[in-house]
Amino acid sequence: MSLTESLNTHRLALCQALDEEDGERLDALLPELRSADIGEILEAILEEEADPPRALALLGRLRLERRASVLGYLPGDAQLVLAEALSDERLLAILEEMSSDERADLFNLLGEDRRQRLLRRMARREREELKRLASYEEGTAGSIMTADYVAIPSGMTVSQAMMRVRQTAPDAETVYQLYIVDGQGRLAGTLSLRQLMVAPPGEAIDELMIRDVIHVPVGEAQEEVARIVARYDLLALPVVDADTRLVGIVTHDDAMDVVESEATEDIHKGMSIGALEDGVSRVPLWSLYRKRVTWLVLLVFANLFSGAGIAYFEETIAAQVALVFFLPLLIGSGGNAGAQAATLMVRGMATGDVGIKDWGKLLGRELLVAGSLGLTMALAVAPIGVMRGGEAVALVVAMSMVIIVLFGSLLGMCLPFLLDRLGWDPATASAPLVTTLIDASGVLIYFGIATAVLSVA
């Protein structure tokens, strides 16, 4: 049985037991399911029903520890619905069991009143840590780091450090990378558990540790954090404050989530859609509208230039109506080739594969590729030109195709670099923007060539 099959079987059985309110069966099934999967089932239940009683019944069947980890897998809106249905006391118990980064995220979803009530019931140390973690700006290293790491005081021996690891093991998010801090809490070095395990017990940690630790400041952008984790194949990346004091770590799984969500954001940006705060099936409609409408309306006005271009060449069109037949084809092809070129650059820049220094080399490459593409497409369209309007029209259409595709591709390729140079996000060079710019230029190129060639002919 494959993973997906066994998951589906379990899921069905669980839903059935829930429907029949068969408590015994639920208790037998739940330990067989993983937190991520229970989370998904909870999410589905919450989507189906406005009120969360069935979801709460399921949650209540879980051990407290499990309840916290399942909650951590839910998207924000589902977390909030459940949190609002729980008493302060029960929510507090769950919060205490959550990892520190998930706790801060959930806390930030609650209303101001509730937050104050919960804070008042916490121990001082917990309160301070939560307030600190909840205060970092969204999208920074601080907002995705956890405070549950293993810090070893400088000066310990290997066996002392090992003892510390064993003590911290139940609470830490990872025990496999240890961070050595000095008396002021500053990051002094790092050591993997693997290195610690094979070292002589009496040796000093300070002799063994790697002093040149890769780390980031707490305000570092999360996409840069993810890039560093990926580049150096890290299990976790330590985060420090302005005085290089260790304040948290970002673990590999959180970095992976960032890579995934940044990719989604980039894909949406490529179609001029602003960053959504949640998945497309859950984000509020009003928000979806706002994130899509801005560029759509701007581009309506940009498209007026294409219309103006057509109006300007009204006489040429009137003299040779067959020309209009090829207009969508020519500007469409230019737009497609240009959007391809822009997308290749924008993604290359996002992954670090392409830098501003590569511009010249890439321009030369694009010239060759786009030239060949234009020629190929001109050959494809020329026979149709002959059929519909004779040889003169075929010549105009073929020439226009080569020039529009070449111009469009070069424009699409250069725009991301230009935007980057001006301090804008290169991803602003979206397919809709590039296509619209090329449409307007394509009209001018096509009818310009037509006017020149056909008046000569």
| Binding segment (CB under 8 A) for a copy of itself, from list 14-22, 84-92, 110-118, 292-300 | 292-300
- Is position 361 an interface residue for a copy of itself (rule: CB under 8 A)? yes
- Is position 99 an interface residue for a copy of itself (rule: CB under 8 A)? no
Residues in the interface with a copy of itself (CB under 8 A) total 111
- Is position 281 an interface residue for a copy of itself (rule: CB under 8 A)? yes
CB atoms within 10 A of CB 64: 12
CA 86 to chain centre: 31
What is the nearest approach in angstroms of a copy of itself to the Cβ of residue 175?
5
One of 8, 9, 135, 351 touching a copy of itself (CB under 8 A): 351
- Is position 149 an interface residue for a copy of itself (rule: CB under 8 A)? no
| Binding segment (CB under 8 A) for a copy of itself, from list 104-112, 139-147, 269-277, 415-423 | 269-277
What is the nearest approach in angstroms of a copy of itself to the Cβ of residue 409?
9
Interaction pattern, residues 156-175, with a copy of itself; x per rule: CB under 8 A: ---------xx--xx----x
| Binding segment (CB under 8 A) for a copy of itself, from list 17-25, 81-89, 123-131, 338-346 | 338-346
- Is position 273 an interface residue for a copy of itself (rule: CB under 8 A)? yes
- Is position 198 an interface residue for a copy of itself (rule: CB under 8 A)? yes
One of 50, 123, 285, 422 touching a copy of itself (CB under 8 A): 285
Spell out the residues 6+ positions from residue 445 whose beta carbon is closer than 8 angstroms to its own: 400, 403, 404, 407
What is the nearest approach in angstroms of a copy of itself to the Cβ of residue 308?
7
- Is position 380 an interface residue for a copy of itself (rule: CB under 8 A)? yes
- Is position 200 an interface residue for a copy of itself (rule: CB under 8 A)? no
- Is position 297 an interface residue for a copy of itself (rule: CB under 8 A)? yes
- Is position 280 an interface residue for a copy of itself (rule: CB under 8 A)? yes
One of 23, 201, 279, 383 touching a copy of itself (CB under 8 A): 279
What is the nearest approach in angstroms of a copy of itself to the Cβ of residue 89?
29
- Is position 275 an interface residue for a copy of itself (rule: CB under 8 A)? no
Residues 224-253 that bind a copy of itself (CB under 8 A): 228-235, 252-253
Name which of 111 and 383 has its Cβ closer to a copy of itself. 383
How many Å apart are CA 291 and CA 274, to the nearest integer?
Answer: 5
How many Å apart are CA 282 and CA 279, to the nearest integer?
Answer: 5
**Largest Cα–Cα separation, the chain:** 95
- Is position 381 an interface residue for a copy of itself (rule: CB under 8 A)? yes
How many Å apart are CA 454 and CA 446, to the nearest integer?
Answer: 12
Name which of 153 and 332 has its Cβ closer to a copy of itself. 332
What is the nearest approach in angstroms of a copy of itself to the Cβ of residue 4?
9
Residues 25-64 that bind a copy of itself (CB under 8 A): 32, 34, 36
- Is position 182 an interface residue for a copy of itself (rule: CB under 8 A)? no
What is the nearest approach in angstroms of a copy of itself to the Cβ of residue 449?
17
In terms of DSSP bridges, do strands 151-153 and 187-192 run parallel, antiparallel, or are they unpaired?
Answer: unpaired
Name which of 162 and 205 has its Cβ closer to a copy of itself. 162
- Is position 339 an interface residue for a copy of itself (rule: CB under 8 A)? yes
One of 61, 90, 176, 392 touching a copy of itself (CB under 8 A): 176
Name which of 28 and 324 has its Cβ closer to a copy of itself. 324
3-class SS string, the chain: CCHHHHHHHHHHHHHHHHHCCCHHHHHHHHHHCCHHHHHHHHHHHHHHCCCCHHHHHHHHCCCHHHHHHHHHHCCHHHHHHHHHHCCHHHHHHHHHHCCHHHHHHHHHHCCHHHHHHHHHCCCHHHHHHHHHHHCCCCCEHHHHCECCCCEEECCCEHHHHHHHHHHHCCCCCCCCEEEEECCCCEEEEEEEHHHHHCCCCCCEHHHHCECCCCCEECCCEHHHHHHHHHHCCCCEEEEECCCCEEEEEEEHHHHHHHHHHHHHHHHHHCCCCCCCCCCCCCCCHHHHHHHHHHHHHHHHHHHHHHHHHHHHCHHHHHHCCHHHHHHHHHHHHHHHHHHHHHHHHHHHHHCCCCCHHHHHHHHHHHHHHHHHHHHHHHHHHHHHHHHHHHHHHHHHHHHHHHHHHHHHHHHHHHHHHHHHHCCCCHHHCCHHHHHHHHHHHHHHHHHHHHHHHHHHC
- Is position 206 an interface residue for a copy of itself (rule: CB under 8 A)? no
Q: Which two tokens stand for residue 327?
A: 């207009």
What is the nearest approach in angstroms of a copy of itself to the Cβ of residue 367?
10
One of 326, 407, 417, 447 touching a copy of itself (CB under 8 A): 326
